[in-house]
């Protein structure tokens, strides 16, 4: 059953389980939506894509609403809402903010085993090693959780910008953490570009990051 994690006038966040086989309501998917789901040969990815689109129909209480893919696969469904998707290990996450604000969400499983050293130069800049240690120290998380949390924050931030995940272009500097809010500065080639606040939710099994960029930024 779909669960609403956040509900404010500006932000909505929903989490649901991805079925192991095609659900009975899959017939609600349009031909275009189904074609996008079937672009992948992996059943798990097909079902995740289908579930995310069915969640949008449920959220808007409109089976006729259609989710199309914009630049970099960004979901587009309603002119008044900016939408972001994420999925991992048969879990699906849908976030929405009122336009013209932009949103990026990311869902990661803490159960996955990762060689984090391989991420430097690919997903992390060498200078960000200290930021990950800072995140671990301030939050009290272990090393694996801090690495995954920092990766998830970057993923959500790049989604909000609607940019490909190119860590060589931008560096994040953690300034503070208050409850689930992470305050950081964004640098491009050594020059500060903006201050950003993202939210990160950690449970026993997963990390969820939400980056809400307001139109004034």
Confidence of residue 188 (pLDDT cuts 50, 70, 90): confident
112/56 same-domain check: no
Q: What is the mean pLDDT of residues 199-210?
A: 94
Q: Indicate the Cα dihedral angle 47, 52, 53, 57, nearest 10°.
A: 130
83/172 same-domain check: no
Residue 5, Cα to own-chain centre: how many angstroms? 14
Q: What is the mean pLDDT of residues 7-20?
A: 95
112/209 same-domain check: yes
10/44 same-domain check: yes
* CATH assignment at residue 203: 3.90.470
Confidence of residue 118 (pLDDT cuts 50, 70, 90): confident
- 47 close to 14: Cβ distance less than 8 angstroms: no
200/113 same-domain check: yes
Q: Last residue of some domain: 99, 134, 169?
A: 99
87/117 same-domain check: no
Q: What is the pLDDT, as a whole number, of residue 217?
A: 53
128/184 same-domain check: yes
28/54 same-domain check: yes
Spell out a b/e string for 26-47, using b for 16 or more CB atoms within 10 Å of the CB, else e.
Answer: bebbeeebbebbeeeeeeeebb
21/71 same-domain check: yes
128/32 same-domain check: no
C-alpha closest to that of 206 among 7, 17, 1: 17
What residue numbers bound the domain in which 112 lies?
107-213
CA distance 156 to 26: 28
């Amino acid at each position: 059953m779909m669960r609403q994690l956040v509900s404010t006038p500006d932000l909505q966040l929903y989490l649901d389980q991805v079925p192991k086989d095609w659900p009975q309501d899959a017939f609600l998917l349009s031909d275009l939506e189904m074609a996008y789901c079937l672009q992948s040969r992996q059943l798990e990815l097909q079902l995740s894509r289908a579930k995310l689109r069915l969640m949008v129909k449920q959220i808007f209480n409109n089976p006729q609403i259609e989710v199309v893919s914009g630049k970099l696969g960004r979901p587009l469904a309603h002119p008044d809402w900016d939408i972001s998707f994420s999925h991992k290990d048969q879990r699906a996450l849908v976030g929405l903010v009122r336009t013209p604000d932009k949103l990026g969400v990311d869902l990661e499983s803490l159960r996955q085993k990762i060689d984090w050293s391989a991420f430097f130069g690919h997903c992390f800049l060498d200078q960000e090693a200290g930021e990950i240690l800072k995140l671990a120290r301030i939050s009290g998380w272990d090393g694996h959780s801090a690495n995954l949390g920092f990766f998830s924050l970057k993923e959500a931030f790049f989604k909000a910008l609607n940019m490909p995940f190119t860590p060589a272009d931008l560096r994040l500097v953690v300034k503070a953490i208050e409850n689930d809010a992470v305050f950081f500065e964004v640098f491009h080639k050594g020059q500060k570009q903006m201050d950003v606040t993202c939210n990160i939710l950690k449970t026993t099994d997963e990390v969820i990051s939400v980056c809400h960029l307001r139109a004034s930024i």
